[in-house]
Amino acid sequence: MYVFLEVLTVILVSGAMAMSLAHALELPGKMRLGREEYFVVQRIYYPGFTIGGGIAEIGGIVATFVLMLTLSGPVRFWLVGGALVALLVMQLVFWLMTQPINKHWLQEVELTAPAKRFFATEGSSGAPPTPTEEWTTLRNQWELSHVIRAASAMLSLILLTTAIAS
């Protein structure tokens, strides 16, 4: 059962890393897009990244926490604890940097009921970005948030696999 938990945790954390790393690796190409093209590309992420990332990230946090509680030895405990902190940093960055921009950008996009609840777009009164510098500021924050999330996810996976291998 313990090996199953280790494998499951690595799979979930790897999934979270894959989603965030995919966003980060798109950055150079997306920075070359104009406003209209950028917003067309942004819409491809929902719901796939939302569902896949949500399952992997929340599942990874739960599995990492359970794994941390079952470990023996202080080094392994602290390595997995560090992996858990890195996953929690991913969540912090998402909710403070990424989600406010998602909410803003998706106001005029037709979403399913669950997506409306998750992105909290129902009843929003804000207007979509104007064709001014505002959209580039939002774009830069959104893209930076995914680079930070990818680095946190990678750190989490490194710490987790080091703990398991030791």
Specify whether the CB–CB gap between 5 and 70 falls below 8 A: yes
Higher pLDDT, 126 or 41: 41
pLDDT at 130: 53
Provide the pLDDT confidence category of residue 129 given band limits of 50, 70 and 90.
very low
The token pair that represents 29 in the structure block: 């190409």
Residue bearing tokens 């965030």? 20
pLDDT at 44: 79
Spatial distance between the Cα atoms of 104 and 102, rounded to a whole number of angstroms: 5
pLDDT at 119: 64
The token pair that represents 26 in the structure block: 């798109």
Spatial distance between the Cα atoms of 142 and 132, rounded to a whole number of angstroms: 17
Kindly give, in sequence order, each residue whose CB lies less than 8 Å from that of residue 1, ignoring residues fewer than 6 positions away. Answer: none
Here the contacts of 117-121 (C-beta below 8 Å, separation 24 or greater) are 118/50
The tens digit of pLDDT for each residue in 70-103 reads 988 999 999 999 999 999 999 999 999 998 988 8
Integer angstrom CA distances of residue 20 from 11, 25, 51, 59: 14, 9, 13, 15
